[in-house]
Amino acid sequence: MGKNIAYLGLGVMGGPMARHLAAAGHTLTVYNRTAEKAVAWVAAHGGRAAPTPAAAATGADVVIACVGADADLEAVTLGPDGAFAAMAPGALFIDHTTVSAAIARRLATEGETRGLHVVDAPVSGGQAGAENGKLTIMVGGSEAAFAAAEPVMQAYAQRIGHMGPAGSGQLTKMVNQLCIAGILQGLSEGLALGLKAGLDMDAVVDVISKGAAQSWQMDNRAKTMTRGQFDFGFAVDWMRKDLGLALDEARRLGVPLPMGALVDQFYADVQSMGGARQDTSSLIRRLAR
């Protein structure tokens, strides 16, 4: 049976995810900080637009957020017009924002006092994954909250994993982003060497992608990296935010992350080169000049 769902945040990820929910038969009330975007979404997909997170959450079985950062998430949940105050006991809150583990745990604790189910559920797969309903979702929260959230998230996921208690989803996303950063730096260096040596890089990628060097980034980005094409969704600005979260958590835990810190600074170089909104494969721009 379809649920009444409030969706908060209709950016490049949230908009498509909300669309998949509507297509799955749920009734959507949407909120976006830029109200015109919510109005346009409703015109295209149905449902209704609400002026505040609290208005969207009133009467909702499920409230889902996909906003920008910790402060944005706090505003739409616990702010003066936040969703939590309007949610009824037993309702479910799903957060798809990539944020700190600290705020994920805070929202879980706050939700528990209000009788809410809360999960932190950051996603991987980028804009294409959201558009195609093929996201990987890493979930933190109680067993009961995960059981309530999983059927809802299946509308736009190809893989959903319960990673542990509150905050575990966000911690898993930090691991994910560090791994991506390292792979992209290695790929950038290898491709830059091949380009400088005058190799046929399409031929190089075709060969090495069949061996131990193979990765998703190589399969999907290597050839476009050699052509200087960097318009594939997940932006450098967002990666720096995510790496910042991972580095902050590592400092708290006393874990050295020399590669993560170095690649974060390399992405700062790309930002200074005008690449803030280019996708993360633009890391090669520092090398292939």
The residues assigned a catalytic role are 173
Q: Which residues pair with 95 in a beta bridge?
A: 65, 120
The Cα–Cα gap between 262 and 278 comes to 19
Four-residue CA torsion sign, 257, 258, 263, 269: positive
DSSP 8-state secondary structure symbol assigned to residue 8: E
Question: Could you give the 3-state DSSP secondary structure of residue 24?
Answer: coil
DSSP result, 26-88: -EEEEE-SSHHHHHHHHHHH-SEE-SSHHHHHTT-SEEEE--SSHHHHHHHHHSTT-SGGGPP
